[in-house]
Chains A and B, each alone.
Chain A
Amino acid sequence: MPVFTISGMILRSLFGRPATLMYPFEPREYATGSRGHIEIDAGTCIYCGLCRRKCPTAALAVDREAKVWEIDRLRCISCGCCVEVCPKKCLSMARGYSPAVPSAGEPEKHHA
């Protein structure tokens, strides 16, 4: 009768290398195209505000006169809508999620 049918898998994992990543000793390698966080090339931004309108969670704020672009990292869901809609292509999606913070704090500001 079939008993201990899992013993093959168990012995392989006992004597083989671990299936989990030994983080943080080994850094995590994200796949290309993985959606992590938004980055901006502030010099190219024209402060048109299209990204703010398209953002589904209202995580962005753009001030045309003061030339400030703000992002609230905790609201951003990394959907990439702002990256798609930016006319100057100054926004890009970078790998790696934004780190956890102990309190909400101020949104991140970028100046020209």
Chain B
Amino acid sequence: MTQRSIIPFGPQHPVLPEPIHLDLVVEDETVVEAIPSIGFVHRGLESLVAKKDFQEFVYVAERICGICSFIHGMTYCHGVEQIMEIEVPPRAQYLRTIWSELSRIHSHLLWLGLTADAFGFESLFMHSWRLREKVLDIIEATTGGRVIFGSCKVGGVRRDIENAALRTIAATLQDYAKEYREIGGVFLEDLTVKRRLCGVGVLSGEDALQLGAVGPMLRASGVAQDMRLLKYAAYGEIDFSPVTAAEGDSYARCSVRVREIFQSVGIIRQCAEKIPDGAIETKVAGLPDGEFYARTEQPRGEVIYYVKANGTKNLERLRVRTPTFANIPAMLKVMPGCQLADVPVLVLTIDPCISCTER
């Protein structure tokens, strides 16, 4: 007769990057059920639309999350531009694509580091973040800030990058790709890492789709869904296809994210070659009126911004549903049956960004 105990996990835990609370019902080291509890960093940012006008709100939208901040700002601008039918110039679209992909690279390197920390491999964690620092230096040189870019605005972008600088960035990233291959090799080949990742938290494709999983969580179960195929920004002119894996376990999710880093390096190289010359912004005239659901692909998955405007300079409603919010049911589904020591790996496997989740 096994006895059940309830172990509270989080919100403060050495292995958790963000405050989420899980009540784990365990029977002798095997987790039977997990009940989530969120709301520790709820800031009510959606209600700020009543106070800030629609152009100023970009700064708030960017600060919803620190890791995926540029794509939040870009999705907001995309939503407002679709309502107001503003045509963003092609050069601005390409610049937005380049910054989105740089965002994706640094977010995936951050995730690799945190996953290594989750199964206790501290030196791999530190080396992943050392590689991430180099990408942050590129971002600081082009936008002025390491984490919060501040470069997107309604109608275009605020800063330009010269073509020569773009080619240098693409070449630098090709150089860094050798180190990414090395660290990706540790994650995907090392025996000890595979022991912790293979077979842990298997999620079938059918389940993933019905539970509403998005992003690498879904793509690692075999479903090739990527919001970049909606062809927003400059993705319509870039040649790429979603990275998928078939097994649906934590190893597959790690492999999807490692390969996406290389995919992003390739996309930036294509953008640097194809970027046209021209203006970087369109003047905004008038006030927004209408509603639109803007969907883009963040490093963690599909983010959807419901923007509703009624003809005044403040939006009527902004509703943000971030990918981690959609991935939480999938996480709860893979927990039963795993060992207690696998819980941090499974929590990190959805790439939790709880500050996004709770806005």
Direct contact of A and B (CB under 8 A): yes
> Footprint of B on A, CB under 8 Å?
1-6, 8-10, 13, 19, 30-35, 56-57, 77-80, 84, 93
In the complex, A84→B151 CA distance in Å?
13
In the complex, A1→B159 CA distance in Å?
49
Closest A residue to B116 by beta carbon equals A6
Return 30 A-B CB contacts under 8 Å, by A number: A2-B191, A3-B190, A3-B191, A4-B190, A5-B185, A6-B186, A6-B190, A9-B127, A19-B130, A30-B140, A31-B141, A32-B141, A33-B141, A33-B142, A33-B144, A33-B159, A34-B140, A35-B145, A56-B52, A56-B56, A57-B59, A77-B59, A77-B148, A78-B145, A78-B150, A79-B150, A80-B144, A80-B150, A80-B158, A84-B158
Known: A31-B137, A33-B141, A34-B140. A2 touches B150 (CB 8 A): no
In the complex, A4→B145 CA distance in Å?
36
Interface residues on B, range: 20 to 34
Extra A-B contacts (15), CB below 8 Å, given A5-B190, A33-B144, A78-B144: A2-B189, A3-B191, A3-B192, A5-B186, A6-B124, A6-B127, A31-B137, A32-B141, A33-B141, A35-B145, A35-B150, A56-B52, A78-B150, A79-B59, A84-B158
- Interface presence of B182 (CB below 8 A): yes
- Interface presence of B227 (CB below 8 A): no
> Footprint of A on B, CB under 8 Å?
52, 56, 59-60, 123-124, 127, 130, 133, 137, 140-142, 144-145, 148, 150, 158-159, 182-183, 185-186, 189-192
Point out the residue from B56, B127, B150 that lies within 8 Å of A13, measured CB to CB: B127
**Which residues of B lie under 8 Å from residue A57 when comparing CB positions?**
59
In the complex, A30→B124 CA distance in Å?
27
Closest B residue to A31 by beta carbon equals B141
A6 CB to closest chain B CB (Å) equals: 5
**Which residues of B lie under 8 Å from residue A2 when comparing CB positions?**
189-191
**Which residues of A lie under 8 Å from residue B159 when comparing CB positions?**
33
Known: A31-B137, A33-B144, A79-B59. A9 touches B150 (CB 8 A): no
The tally of CB-CB contacts under 8 A between chains A and B is 59
Which of B133, B144, B150, B190 has the most CB atoms of chain A within a 10 A radius of its CB?
B144
In the complex, A30→B133 CA distance in Å?
14
Which of A6, A8, A30, A33 has the most CB atoms of chain B within a 10 A radius of its CB?
A6
Point out the residue from A3, A9, A33, A56 that lies within 8 Å of B183, measured CB to CB: A9
**Which residues of B lie under 8 Å from residue A10 when comparing CB positions?**
123
Secondary structure call for the B interface: helix
Closest A residue to B130 by beta carbon equals A19
In the complex, A4→B192 CA distance in Å?
9
In the complex, A112→B141 CA distance in Å?
33
A11 CB to closest chain B CB (Å) equals: 12
Closest A residue to B55 by beta carbon equals A56
In the complex, A75→B56 CA distance in Å?
15
B183 CB to closest chain A CB (Å) equals: 7
**Which residues of B lie under 8 Å from residue A6 when comparing CB positions?**
123-124, 127, 186, 190
Which of A4, A5, A19, A35 has the most CB atoms of chain B within a 10 A radius of its CB?
A5
A7 CB to closest chain B CB (Å) equals: 10
Beta-carbon contact of B182 and A9 below 8 Å? yes
In the complex, A8→B127 CA distance in Å?
12
Closest A residue to B124 by beta carbon equals A6
B133 CB to closest chain A CB (Å) equals: 8
**Which residues of B lie under 8 Å from residue A8 when comparing CB positions?**
182
Closest A residue to B194 by beta carbon equals A2
In the complex, A30→B137 CA distance in Å?
9
**Which residues of B lie under 8 Å from residue A4 when comparing CB positions?**
190
**Which residues of A lie under 8 Å from residue B56 when comparing CB positions?**
56
**Which residues of A lie under 8 Å from residue B192 when comparing CB positions?**
3
B43 CB to closest chain A CB (Å) equals: 15
Point out the residue from B60, B140, B148, B189 that lies within 8 Å of A5, measured CB to CB: B189
Closest A residue to B148 by beta carbon equals A77
B67 CB to closest chain A CB (Å) equals: 18
B52 CB to closest chain A CB (Å) equals: 7
Point out the residue from A31, A33, A56, A93 that lies within 8 Å of B59, measured CB to CB: A56
In the complex, A93→B150 CA distance in Å?
13
A52 CB to closest chain B CB (Å) equals: 13
